[in-house]
Amino acid sequence: MTGLLAPPPPVAGAAVNEILAYYAAHRIGLEAESVADGIGLTLLVIFGATFHARARSIPSVTAFGASGIVAACGLVEVAAFQALAYRPNPDPTRAALLNDLQSFTFQAMTFPTLLFLGAAGAAILGAGVLPRWLGLAALAAAALQAAAWISFFAPTGILAAGGLPNIVSFAALLAWLVACSLMMLRSGSLSPGH
């Protein structure tokens, strides 16, 4: 949800003044996003359980486990956001540290997210419980997670942790989750292969 109620936060390594100004200007939106993110991450785990109940395979249980890891990483990021949004005038050093923590947590989420999407794609392609294109889309979204790892090597700027590669890979995850959820709802009683 971050980016919908407030613009994306400053990337890792951003200037302290930019960080302080961002959190001061977007405090209310970030507090609302923190609640929405917490709910969304909880729903991700429920999605993972439902997906596994449908596919019943080693890849689907792997996707279920990975959804829990993604949720845990996301909740750490939400805690860092909330710690900054909660205090109206945070200490500049602490603000920079917490902003970097949330950026790098968002970046590190690409590892379990790649596992989640890759395992879900393998489960779909192997079990045939959902359309093949959905499995291929999961694998494409997983590839975007790996491409986002460039952010580990960019010290600051648009490619830094929390920057454009992370935002694009996260958008791919969200798009796949929506498409998969809709297909699971639509094909609730379909047998494998349909």
Q: Select the more confidently predicted residue: 80 or 192.
A: 80
Mean pLDDT of 173-188: 92
pLDDT at 140: 96
Closest-CA residue to 34 (of 98, 78, 65) = 78
Q: How far lies 192's CA from each of 63, 113, 184, 185, in Å?
A: 18, 25, 12, 15
Q: Quote the CA–CA distance of 126 and 56 in Å, as a whole number.
A: 11
Kindly tell me if the per-residue pLDDT of 6 is higher than 60: yes
Name the domain count of the chain: 1
Q: What sign for the dihedral angle of Cα 144, 148, 150, 152?
A: negative
Q: Quote the CA–CA distance of 123 and 137 in Å, as a whole number.
A: 12
pLDDT at 188: 67
Domain boundaries, position 55? 16-186
Q: What is the pLDDT of residues 59-106, one digit of tens each?
A: 999 999 999 999 999 999 889 888 888 877 888 999 999 999 988 888
Mean pLDDT of 32-49: 93
Q: Quote the CA–CA distance of 72 and 32 in Å, as a whole number.
A: 19
Show the tokens assigned to 105.
């947590």
pLDDT at 149: 85
> Per the domain annotation, does 141 fall within a domain?
yes
Contact present, 73 and 44 (Cβ < 8 Å): no
> Per the domain annotation, does 9 fall within a domain?
no
> Per the domain annotation, does 53 fall within a domain?
yes
> Per the domain annotation, does 120 fall within a domain?
yes
pLDDT at 21: 92
Q: What is the pTM of this model?
A: 0.85
pLDDT at 3: 60
Kindly tell me if the per-residue pLDDT of 13 is higher than 80: yes
> Per the domain annotation, does 106 fall within a domain?
yes
Q: Quote the CA–CA distance of 20 and 16 in Å, as a whole number.
A: 6
> Per the domain annotation, does 89 fall within a domain?
yes
Q: What is the pLDDT of residues 114-154, one digit of tens each?
A: 999 999 999 999 988 899 999 999 999 999 999 888 877 77
> Per the domain annotation, does 4 fall within a domain?
no
